[in-house]
């Protein structure tokens, strides 16, 4: 099943385009007008999410942020909502 979802954080729109089968993310592309430092971390986030269960999204996002990622105006929960839905 292909899913497209837009989630508006306080500062920035997060766009998610992904394929989900049996609760597992097969493919995911995250885009949008947010800020993320370091910028290239977005690739790592997508790699961490590929093959993961939608139910585990929160712990994956937390692990990602624990590496010192900075996203002004966007909270970790925004990425959880963008991927898993509200």
Partner 1 sequence: MDGRLLFLETPGNTRMSLAYDESLYRSFKEGDKPILRFYRHDRSVIIGYFQIAEEEVDLDYMKRNNIMLARRYTGGGAVYHDLGDLNFSVITESHDMNITAMFRTMNEAVVRSLSYLGLQARPGELNDVSIPINKKTDIMAGEKKIMGAAGAMRKGSKLWHAAMLVKTDLDMLSAVLKVPDEKFRDKLAKSTRERVANVTDFVDVSIEDVEKSLIKGISEVLKIDFKEDTLRDDEENLAKDLYDKKYSTEEWNMGLLRKQVA
Evaluate whether 67 touches 36 at the Cβ level (below 8 Å). Answer: no
The answer to whether 13 contacts partner 1 (rule: CB under 8 A) is yes
* Helices 76-84/57-65 angle, 10° precision: 150
Determine if 42 is a binding residue for partner 1 (CB under 8 A): yes
Q: Does 47 bind partner 1 (CB under 8 A)?
A: no
Please pick, from the candidates 51, 70, 77, 85, the single residue that binds partner 1 as defined by CB under 8 A: 70
Residue 34 found at the interface with partner 1 (CB under 8 A): yes
The token pair at 16 is 């998610």
Q: Alpha-carbon distance 57 to 52, whole Å? A: 8
* Binding-site ranges for partner 1 (CB under 8 A): 6-8, 10-13, 15, 29-40, 42-43, 70, 72-73
């Amino acid at each position: 099943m292909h899913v497209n979802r837009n989630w508006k954080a306080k500062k920035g729109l997060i766009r998610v385009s992904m394929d989900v089968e049996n609760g597992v993310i097969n493919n995911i592309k995250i885009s949008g007008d947010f800020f993320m430092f370091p910028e290239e971390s977005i690739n790592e986030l997508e790699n961490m999410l590929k093959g993961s269960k939608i139910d585990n999204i929160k712990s994956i996002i937390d692990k990602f942020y624990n590496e010192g990622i900075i996203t002004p105006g966007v909270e970790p929960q925004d990425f959880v909502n963008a991927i898993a839905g509200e």
